[in-house]
Amino acid sequence: MDQETFQLLRESIRRFVEREVVTKAQAWELQGFVPREVLREMGRLGFLGLRYPEEFGGGALDARATALLAEELGRSTFGGFAITVLVHTDMATPHLVNAGSSEQIQRYLPRLVSGELISAVAITEPDAGSDVKAIRTSARRVSPGPGGDWVLNGSKMFITNGALADLYFVAAKTDPAAGSKGISMFMVEKGMPGFSVGRKLDKMGWRSSDTAELVFDDCRVPAANLLGEEGKGFYAVMKNFQNERIAIAAMTMGEAARALELTLEYVRTRKAFGATLWDKQAIRQRLSMLAAKVEAGRQLVLHAASLDAQGGDCVKEVSMAKAYCAELLNDVVYDCLQFHGGFGYLKESTIERMYRDARVQPIGGGATEVMLEEVAKRL
Ligand SMILES: Cc1cc2nc3c(=O)[nH]c(=O)nc-3n(C[C@H](O)[C@H](O)[C@H](O)COP(=O)(O)OP(=O)(O)OC[C@H]3O[C@@H](n4cnc5c(N)ncnc54)[C@H](O)[C@@H]3O)c2cc1C
């Protein structure tokens, strides 16, 4: 993608966010989900298919487009909105495109790119989060031998788009004795017998993102909905994590940059001790250092995305970016709230919501400690 195309795309996403998100998303925070029409509109504008082939309505772009989209959605200041979209575009749907047969891709991808269908990815369970191979949801064939339908049993926890989605990419154990080689991926449609949405989970932040438990009670899944090869699910999950983490890291840097902008506006007008807060060297230097770190974080994400785009191994750089940017965002919103004083503590202030939203980033999509283990293995 050349610089000009990149810039035009950035501007059109930014305009959409300013027009359709910033002015409306407070209502989504209160209702606990993003209206479907918003995703349909994003589909119509081409934003949901940036990474997918043109023949399916996509833009055929690489991981740098993921970073761009995520950063701009993060700049909305509504983390719940951003994660709703990014789970669909860059965390769930890639499972189909990376491992699906051409029949499966034909069946689902056009409707995912248009926003007619919303997707979710269901890996985490009540007893297994960071340790993916410890999942217990089981999948067994109804009748022995290849080609038969499957029956899924178990539950999933913390699933973004859990209640809203139409199509779920679900990790399950097809061979409980085979460890990571015994995990396979399935596509479960809402309405398949034995599948239900459990509790909707009440969260500290990301209030406009719907997060739910999923329940599989003898859920019958057609043979045609096994995704990729049996036993290769763990590798699919690990591969997809790279894109997911690029998206999360870029989203955090969009949020951090916007939090700094809002704080700069505030401290330049707020007066204390006869001058603006900006006139206090301690404040402007702290903001300057945070701005430098955010720029460094952005460049690290872009570097990881460029490596991914070149097809190289980028696990070290992606893990560094996810760990660094998620922690940095929390440092940024902490200081930004501090410099807003008492107003920053009020529910009506944007920075209060950003502070709550930020806290999940060093946990979800690979906790900081897990990321640092990935880095350590490669140092
Ligand atoms: C709002 C939200 C949305 C989510 N959306 C999804 C989704 O759409 N799909 C999905 O499948 N999952 C989703 N998750 C789950 C998320 O990915 C997990 O919460 C995350 O992977 C951590 O797993 P856990 O919560 O089970 O924590 P655990 O694995 O129990 O870990 C707890 C803590 O222990 C520490 N820790 C863990 N491992 C190590 C280690 N090796 N070394 C040192 N310290 C360690 C970390 O600090 C970690 O935070 C979501 C979670 C949240 C909160």
Domain chopping of the chain, boundaries: 3-118, 120-230, 235-377
281-309 and 233-269 helices, crossing angle to 10° = 150
pLDDT of residue 151: 98
Using a 6 Å cutoff on CB, does residue 344 contact ligand 1? no
Distance 149 CA to ligand 1 centre (A): 31
Using a 6 Å cutoff on CB, does residue 133 contact ligand 1? no
Q: Looking at residues 340-368, what average pLDDT do you find?
A: 98
Token pair for 38: 């918003």
pLDDT higher than threshold 80 for residue 51: yes
pLDDT of residue 338: 98
Using CA atoms, how far apart are residues 131 and 74, in angstroms rounded to an integer? 28
Using CA atoms, how far apart are residues 341 and 270, in angstroms rounded to an integer? 10
- Contact (CB, 8 A) for 119 and 165: yes
CATH code of 120-230, in short, is 2.40.110.10
Using a 6 Å cutoff on CB, does residue 162 contact ligand 1? no
pLDDT of residue 243: 97
Distance 366 CA to ligand 1 centre (A): 6
Give tens-digit pLDDT for 290-339.
999 999 999 999 999 999 999 989 999 999 999 999 999 999 999 999 99
Percentage of the chain modeled with pLDDT above 70: 100
Q: What CATH superfamily is the domain 235-377?
A: Butyryl-CoA Dehydrogenase, subunit A, domain 3 (1.20.140.10)
Using CA atoms, how far apart are residues 93 and 108, in angstroms rounded to an integer? 9
Using a 6 Å cutoff on CB, does residue 132 contact ligand 1? no
User: Within 10 A of 325 (CB to CB), how many other CB atoms are there?
Assistant: 27
pLDDT of residue 143: 82
DSSP string, 348-374: TSHHHHHHHHHTTTTTTTS-HHHHHHH
Residue closest by Cα to atom 31 of ligand 1? 130
Closest CA to 376 of 322, 316, 325: 316
Catalytic residue among 244, 255, 317, 374: 244
Atom of ligand 1 nearest to the CA of 365: 17
Residue closest by Cα to atom 48 of ligand 1? 367
User: Within 10 A of 210 (CB to CB), how many other CB atoms are there?
Assistant: 26
Using CA atoms, how far apart are residues 166 and 162, in angstroms rounded to an integer? 9
Active site residue 244: yes
Percentage of the chain modeled with pLDDT above 90: 97
Using CA atoms, how far apart are residues 117 and 111, in angstroms rounded to an integer? 5
Distance 340 CA to ligand 1 centre (A): 31
pLDDT higher than threshold 80 for residue 146: no
Distance 255 CA to ligand 1 centre (A): 21
Exposed/middle/buried for 67, CB within 10 Å: 0-12, 13-18, 19+?
buried
Which of 89, 93, 130, 133 is the pocket-test mutation for ligand 1 (most atoms within 8 Å of CB)? 130
pLDDT of residue 308: 97
pLDDT of residue 324: 98
Place 50 in a pLDDT band, splitting at 50, 70 and 90: very high
Residue closest by Cα to atom 16 of ligand 1? 364
Using CA atoms, how far apart are residues 254 and 74, in angstroms rounded to an integer? 5
Exposed/middle/buried for 248, CB within 10 Å: 0-12, 13-18, 19+?
buried
Atom of ligand 1 nearest to the CA of 162: 8
Using DSSP's 3-state secondary structure scheme, residue 20 falls into helix
Fold adopted by 3-118:
Butyryl-Coa Dehydrogenase, subunit A; domain 1 (1.10.540)
Give tens-digit pLDDT for 249-285.
999 999 999 999 999 999 999 999 999 999 999 999 9
CA distances to 21, 131, 181, 186 from 229, in Å: 39, 21, 11, 10
Task: Give, rounded to a whole angstrom, the gap between the first and last alpha carbons of the chain.
Answer: 31
- Contact (CB, 8 A) for 301 and 329: no
- Contact (CB, 8 A) for 289 and 269: no
Atom of ligand 1 nearest to the CA of 363: 49
pLDDT of residue 116: 98
Tell me 314's DSSP state: -
